[in-house]
């Protein structure tokens, strides 16, 4: 009987952990700044320079690399454009 109660507790804990993880990974927009959608940045990728457009605040929120590039003391922060020649556009 004690073993069954332990299993039920473990299952309940597992479900709660999965629920919390899914909630955090699906809806982190609640933590995103209000101005996240104010500015569009351009990212040119690959040898043929395939262009992607993204909201500066959104891409910065999810990626430390893009946060530093577009919000740091770099030319990309001022211009809003980033070139990544050696990357594969399909990967981005």
Predicted confidence (pLDDT) per residue in 14-28, tens digit = 554 554 544 444 555
In the chain, what percentage of residues exceed pLDDT 90?
49
Is residue 92 in a domain? no
Q: Where in the sequence is the domain holding 53, given as residue range(s)?
A: 33-84
Tens digit of each residue's pLDDT (9 = 90 or more) over 47-84:
999 999 999 998 998 899 999 999 999 999 999 999 99
How would you classify the pairing of strands 40-45 and 81-84?
parallel
The CA-CA-CA angle for residues 38, 51, 66, to 5°, reads 55
SS3 of residue 85 by DSSP: coil
Burial of 33 (0-12, 13-18, 19+ CB in 10 A): exposed
The whole-number pLDDT of residue 34 equals: 76
Is residue 56 in a domain? yes
What does pTM read for this prediction? 0.64
Is residue 70 in a domain? yes
Give the total number of structural domains in the chain: 2
């Amino acid at each position: 009987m004690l073993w069954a109660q332990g299993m039920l507790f473990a299952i309940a804990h597992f479900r709660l952990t999965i629920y919390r993880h899914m909630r955090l990974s699906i809806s982190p927009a609640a933590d995103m700044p209000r101005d996240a959608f104010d500015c569009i940045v351009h990212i040119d990728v690959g040898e043929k320079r395939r262009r992607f457009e993204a909201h500066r605040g959104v891409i910065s929120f999810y990626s430390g690399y893009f946060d530093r590039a577009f919000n740091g003391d770099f030319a990309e922060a001022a211009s809003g454009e980033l070139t990544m020649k050696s990357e594969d556009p399909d990967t981005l």
